[in-house]
Structure 1
């Protein structure tokens, strides 16, 4: 039983790392330091993971390969136009809030925000009120799943398989109800309105990993469920 714990923990570490990279891409305009960090990432480790994910990595890598003194400003402008919707009034932009993509009138601060707020509150992961950003922002959702993956590992390493299973089931429900329900529409929107290959790649990578994580969560939940059953039967 314990032989499988390192493999499960490694999967969760990888999940958390990718979610945090994605969270940083959506939270705000990228700094020079962040761009240098992303440029230095070894995306080859994800080759073969998924065709769309690899395509997204290739777009980002190709764009940053030509990084120069104007790159950060070009990406900041694309972020402002495509994601913040700055200066746009008639066209729909890829504003990263679940409420915008799931509410009837496409407005912020709707039912989805309230549901995500309650989820974060229950997990003691309240968003800093000084940010003045609604809780159903994609960055906060990705950070939530990263933290939950780490908490699952803490339970596994402590031998509390029942708690780890409960954690994974909560993740599955959140992933289904607050990511899968709008990620296609969101990524379609971002890919169509982004002007740089970089953010078009971000859209591809985001969509791909959300779907990949559905399968990863299913596999993790099944494995930990078997561990719980084995312990009960022992």
Structure 2
């Protein structure tokens, strides 16, 4: 799996595909995942995604990953969801991530990295410190512990946006620093627990939105790590 993911990331032609396009595509993906892991679905926003459905674009380009196909089709069908289907999706979100009661796939990093399976431990504090180091303040709406999956993905999205801004200002060194920050956060946090979290999620879903996200998220984060490596290498070559 890892070799296949690395190969697919290397299929991106970094010499001809505009860097701006790569970074904006990353932003689209991280914004989508952060939003729909953190809050119950906004169906009007889902319908708007049809105008720029990156999952559909990947599917049409021949990407055969099951999660991509499921999410592409779900977004495409979202305008036709019945009120009953929308209610089922909202209930699934509450069951998975909000409660009350036992959560089948707790969305906090600390649960997967502590022997006691608890939240708000040293892993949460380490994530908070990472945010502080980069001067990032995340969503205050329905405030969750800092290591919530949605907030960690939002953090990457924010740094990705800063990378774009640095490049627009021709600050190559700053852009490389921010890319390295994203890579470090993936390696020290998200990639450590994403497989277990999404595995538990996949085993407890019957809604395509969350099934697709459970399948796609680990795949994408692993591929994105290689994309970041390639981008950093390209900048290093440019600076020589």
Cα distance, 1:40 vs structure 2: 5.5
Which position in structure 1 is the counterpart of 2:163?
Answer: 152
Which position in structure 1 is the counterpart of 2:134?
Answer: 123
Is the partner of 2:137 in helix, strand or coil? coil
Aligned residue runs from structure 1 range 15-164, under 5 A: 15-38=26-49, 41-42=52-53, 43-47=55-59, 48-49=62-63, 51-58=65-72, 60-61=74-75, 64=78, 67-88=81-102, 93-127=104-138, 131-164=142-175
Gap regions ≥5 residues in structure 2: 1-13
Is the partner of 1:180 in helix, strand or coil? helix
Cα distance, 1:75 vs structure 2: 0.6
Which position in structure 1 is the counterpart of 2:5?
Answer: none
* TM-score (normalizing by structure 1): 0.85
Which position in structure 1 is the counterpart of 2:10?
Answer: none
- Do the aligned partners of residues 162 and 50 (structure 1) sit closer, same or farther apart at CA in structure 2, a change above 3 Å counting? farther
Aligned residue runs from structure 1 range 166-185, under 5 A: 166-185=177-196
Which position in structure 2 is the counterpart of 1:187?
Answer: 198
Q: Residue 13 of structure 1 is aligned with which of 4, 9, 24?
A: 24
- Do the aligned partners of residues 85 and 100 (structure 1) sit closer, same or farther apart at CA in structure 2, a change above 3 Å counting? farther
Is the partner of 2:83 in helix, strand or coil? coil
1:220 and 2:234 aligned: no
Alpha-carbon distance in structure 2 between the residues aligned to 1:26 and 1:66: 22
Cα distance, 1:171 vs structure 2: 0.9
Moved over 4 A (4+): 3-6, 38-41
Is the partner of 2:96 in helix, strand or coil? helix
- Do the aligned partners of residues 141 and 49 (structure 1) sit closer, same or farther apart at CA in structure 2, a change above 3 Å counting? farther
Cα distance, 1:102 vs structure 2: 1.2
CA contact (8 A) 1:30 1:76 kept: yes
Alpha-carbon distance in structure 2 between the residues aligned to 1:207 and 1:67: 27
Cα distance, 1:63 vs structure 2: 6.4
Alpha-carbon distance in structure 2 between the residues aligned to 1:51 and 1:113: 32
* TM-score (normalizing by structure 2): 0.83
- Do the aligned partners of residues 25 and 116 (structure 1) sit closer, same or farther apart at CA in structure 2, a change above 3 Å counting? same
- Per-residue CA deviations over 1:175-230 (Å, capped at 9, x if unaligned) read 111111011101101110112222111211212211221121111111111122x2
Cα distance, 1:127 vs structure 2: 3.3
Alignment length (residue pairs)? 224
Aligned residues: CA RMSD: 2.4
